[in-house]
Amino acid sequence: MKKKYLRFNQYKKDLLKNPVAKKEYDRLKPEFALINALIFARKERKLTQAELAKRIGTTQSVISRLEIGQANPSVAVLKRIAVALNSKLEIRFSPL
C-alpha cells in the first residue's frame, strides 16, 4: 500500500507543475479542506455516514455526496453537522 501512496504523491507533484492544473487545484482547496475536515471529524468520533445522517435528520447518501464533493452545503447544514459531531463550526477569511 505504501508504494501506491508514493506513486500518487509523485503523480500529484508532477501534475501540479502544470500551471493550469495548479490554478484549478488552488481554486478547489477550500472545498477539499471542508471535505477533509468533515471526514476527519466523523471518523474521529467513530461514526458512519448513516449515523451522522440520522443525527442531522437526513440520509446517508446526502453525507456521501458531501464527502465526495458533489454537494455544496448551506451554512445551516454545516451548523447541524457541527452540533451532531459535538464540534464548533468556524468560517473565516484569511488574507492571500
Q: What does the pLDDT look like over 5-44, one tens digit per residue?
A: 678 888 999 999 999 999 999 999 999 999 999 999 999 9
Under DSSP, is residue 61 helix (H, G, I), strand (E, B) or coil? Answer: helix
Instruction: Pull the grid cell for residue 72.
Output: 455544496
Is 59 a member of any domain? yes
The answer to whether the CB of 63 falls within 8 A of the CB of 52 is yes
> 3: pLDDT confidence band, cut at 50, 70 and 90?
low
Residue 78 has pLDDT above 90, yes or no: yes
3-state secondary structure 22-87: HHHHHHHHHHHHHHHHHHHHHHHCCCCHHHHHHHHCCCHHHHHHHHCCCCCCCHHHHHHHHHHCCC
CATH number for the domain harbouring residue 19: 1.10.260.40
For residue 8, the model assigns a pLDDT of: 83
Amino acid residing at 67: E
The model's pTM is 0.80
Examine the pLDDT at 1 and tell me if it is beyond 60: no
Asked whether residue 95 is domain-assigned, the answer is no
Which carries the bigger pLDDT value, residue 8 or residue 65?
65
pLDDT for residue 86? 96
Domain hosting residue 11, numbered range:
2-84
Is 93 within the bounds of a domain?
Answer: no
The total of structural domains in the chain comes to 1
